[in-house]
Amino acid sequence: MEFGLSEDQRLMQESVNRTLEKVSPLDRVRKAAEAREPYARDIWAALVDLGVPGLIVPENEGGMGLKLLDAALVSEALGRYVAPAPFIATAVMAPLALIGSASPRQQEAFLPKLAGGEAVVGVAISERASGARDGAGITASGGKLTGKALFVLDCGGADFYIVGDRDCGLHLVWADAEGLARTELTTIDLTRSVGELDFVNVEAEPLVSGDAKTTTRRMLDAGRVMLAADTLGAGWRMIEKAVDYAKERKQFGRVIGSFQAVKHMCAEMAAELEPGRSLIWYAAHAFDEIPEESSLMAAHAKAHLSEVGRFVARTATEVHGGMGFTDLLGLHYWFKRIGLDRQLLGSPERVRQDAAVLQGWAAE
Amino acid sequence: MDLAYGPEYEAFRQQVRDFIAAHRDKAPRNFGVNRPSEEALVWQRLLIEHGYAARTIPKEYGGYGAEPDILKSRIVAEEFSNARLPMGLSNQGISMLVPTLLELGTEEQKQKWIAPTLRGDVVWCQGYSEPGSGSDLASLQTKATEDGDDFIINGQKIWTSTAHAADMIFCLVRTEPDAKKHEGISYLIFSMKTPGIEVRPLVTMTGHAEFNEVFFTDVRVPQKDIVAGRGQGWFVANATLKHERGMLGDPNAAGSRLKQIIELMETETMDGERLIENPLFRDRLLKLQARVLAMQFHGLRLLTASAKKEDAGIARLIVKLQGCDLNHDLAALAIDALGELGVLYGESPHLRAKGTWQHRYMFDLGLIIGGGTAQIQKNIISERGLGMPREPKPAKA
């Protein structure tokens, strides 16, 4: 019995952290955000060098064949460095869509491309995950898609999209397909691209080799665990920043970190956030090894980290006093990252409703 | 991550199951209120004999003498819990005094006290806190003055659970009044029958006397009944407190409490609707379920760290704070879900679960405060876990 990371996993996460420390400093993040780059190509290139896009792609398709727990460790690192790079759709949910529902021919055509970082892929299944807003929804008819998808993940700069329709079908759509219009949705978080796709009779390649409903569920579970891990990384970085600031900032002739009022804020953040790490590890582990628990654990990880993340984001900002509220310090990039994580693929209330259904406590 | 125990441990698990199947009829129904009942004592001896209590205590001191193996200990706990059987006795003598004597006692002290304590024949109480010394325990004032080969003890202790039923006390007293506060304390063990000791029950908000006050008036104790040396008491007490904090905030207790709430919400109805179908109560339940799972997995992570002798750092420091808080929130949900039924207490008609939820809600507040208050825990987490500075000492007037 060993509940923890292997030496390989620790080393892998360290190496991602080291790389991001170099390529994703706050200055670079700020530049990407202010220029509204869909994603930072240099940071993406560094992640490609590390093999991140092929993390969970099987080895015989050119990937590393690792597990969701490994992906969670990368997601945590990306949150830690508020990295403006594609990941959740391109490196996790899209490969799962292809592995779960693409034909051997489609897998051969797309998986090695994904694994090699040659394509960025957006995923449009928010309506399944969060419920439809503003009349969103895609109808498939005669191999063509019509309708709109909101909050498409890794949307900007994507080469193609995996799209879920109203009947739970999955489709592959090229970004330059005729009749497809792409609009960037500006969220609070300028480090990740979320968009809208409008379809008018758009040619699509259906993914029909596996049960699309199961595949969608797997994509959603994995995505939720990734968002939880992103919040964990961003949250811990905020705690560290708050502690460092409290050790330097002086008021009333002493560092504010020596006041119990401030110390207790920091202790509460750490105490609330840290057990979430084990919940994420378990949820990621369950995804690969205990499939019957996978959806419930992913829901709990997502909802719990969202709640704790909000508390940490707010409290760490308060520890910084007025400076935390300014753009100058850039702390808000982490605050906003956590804010977006919370709503994507289901807000906590929505996700807990899923957890209720999964346990037979509510009707679907 | 590898959540399987492997063949050696599964074989051990089978042994535990076989034991349970063979002996479950001997499990005590009545444990005794203040002292272990006769059937609880018989059960305890049986468990020690088979290695399911006092498992890692050396045989020469009355234990089973197994090598420490944290996974085997957990398997025993899991199997007993699954079979809804009580584990061995758990009291302050066994969980705090025994490890302290093993670490710091003389050979004579170990020989004399460990075996009867493990068997449950000798019951101990802990004399640490005083009315003027709670969080600032090292400021304690109960004094022990030398008189020939003895100490004469005068002073008062508080929060002394089971003092009225205890045979013995392990007690912190000030033997070196001129030393600095942490260096003037000694750890003494003596009989509660010694003349000059008065025990008064301390009734708490639950309506029960779970604690006592203990008054010492010219209590004469031989100097040889000191553990470690004179002035070493603070060091000894910290070794002991470490064992106490490990006991508080156990995530598996939260797990079984959660199960009970789920059962409650699946059976109790309001206007004919089961509580589990009420979206507001259900959402609260689900929030708590996530917290319980997080703490349970956190516990497994700490278990792995202990087994590999790794320092878990801040992860270990948060358990008492988070665990006690979680237990309290669980009791609060049960009460709210029961609504007006949730405030029934004592012997009232319509009472649910013998008033357990109200009792826990109040008693847990005591656990949040006791064993190092939540605020002291936050000091520890921020100072030792996050490296934040200590509160500066006020300048002397």
Predicted complex ipTM: 0.97
A255 CB neighbours in chain B (<8 A) are 389
pTM exceeds 0.90 for this model: yes
Residues A275 and B322: beta-carbon distance below 8 Å: yes
Q: Is the pLDDT of residue B244 over 70?
A: no
The yes-or-no answer to whether A7-115 and A213-358 have a common fold is no
* A111: nearest Cα among A41, A162, A155: A162
- What part of A 235-294 touches B (C-beta under 8 Å)? 239, 243, 246-247, 254-255, 257-260, 263-264, 266-268, 270-272, 274-279, 281-282, 285, 289
Domains and CATH numbers, chain B: 7-89 (no CATH), 124-240 (2.40.110.10), 248-385 (1.20.140.10)
Q: Do A356 and B300 touch (CB under 8 A)?
A: no
How crowded is residue A142: how many other Cβ atoms within 10 Å of its Cβ? 5
Q: Is the pLDDT of residue B245 over 80?
A: no
Least confident span in A53-57, A249-253, B251-255, B288-292: B251-255
Alpha helices in chain A (DSSP H): 7-23, 26-34, 41-50, 68-80, 94-101, 104-115, 126-130, 212-248, 260-289, 291-319, 321-325, 332-343, 348-358
Q: Do A4 and B305 touch (CB under 8 A)?
A: yes
Q: Of B79, B130, B244, B340, which is the active-site residue? A: B244
CB pairs under 8 A between A and B: 143
- Smallest CA–CA distance from A362 into chain B, residue: B277
Interval B104-145: pLDDT, tens: 999 999 999 999 999 999 999 999 999 999 999 999 999 999
Using alpha carbons, list the distances in angstroms from residue B147 to B97, B175, B188, B193, B269: 26, 12, 15, 20, 68
Confidence band of B227 (pLDDT split at 50, 70, 90):
very high
Q: What is the mean pLDDT of residues A126-149?
A: 95
Interval B304-318: pLDDT, tens: 998 888 989 999 999
Give how far the C-alpha of residue A217 lies from the chain's centroid of Cα atoms, to the nearest Å: 16
Burial status of residue B259 (CB atoms within 10 A of its CB: 0-12, 13-18, 19 or more): exposed
Q: What is the mean pLDDT of residues A243-265?
A: 97
Q: Do A274 and B377 touch (CB under 8 A)?
A: no
Tokens of B94: 């066994």
d(CA A51, CA A72): 15
- What part of A 314-333 touches B (C-beta under 8 Å)? none
Three-state SS at A132: coil
Contacts of A111 (CB under 8 A, 6+ apart): A57, A58, A61, A62, A63, A95, A98, A99, A102
- Smallest CA–CA distance from B302 into chain A, residue: A3
Interval B45-58: pLDDT, tens: 999 999 999 999 99
Q: A7-115 falls under which CATH superfamily?
A: Acyl-CoA dehydrogenase/oxidase, N-terminal domain (1.10.540.10)
- What part of B 285-314 touches A (C-beta under 8 Å)? 286-287, 289-291, 293-295, 297-298, 300-301, 303-305, 314
Give the closest of A3, A246, A271 to B318, CB-based. Answer: A271
* A12: nearest Cα among A58, A51, A44: A51
pLDDT score recorded for residue B32: 84
State yes or no: is B244 an active-site residue: yes
Length of chain A in residues, anyone? Answer: 364
Residues B285 and B261: beta-carbon distance below 8 Å: yes
Q: Give percent of chain A with pLDDT exceeding 70.
A: 100
The domain locations on chain A are: 7-115, 121-210, 213-358
Q: Regarding the domain delimited by A121-210, which CATH topology (the fold level of the hierarchy) does it fall under? A: Butyryl-CoA Dehydrogenase, subunit A; domain 2 (2.40.110)
- What part of B 361-380 touches A (C-beta under 8 Å)? 375, 377-379
Q: Is the pLDDT of residue B27 over 90?
A: yes
pLDDT score recorded for residue B393: 79
Q: What is the mean pLDDT of residues B327-339?
A: 97
pLDDT score recorded for residue B306: 86
d(CA A160, CA A102): 14
CA angle B159, B251, A315 (to 5 degrees): 90
Class of domain A213-358: mainly alpha
Q: Which residue, chain included where needed, has tokens 């529902």?
A: A101
pLDDT score recorded for residue B396: 63
Q: Do A1 and B276 touch (CB under 8 A)?
A: no
- Smallest CA–CA distance from A5 into chain B, residue: B1
Q: Is the pLDDT of residue B84 over 90?
A: no
Give the closest of B5, B315, B391 to A260, CB-based. Answer: B391
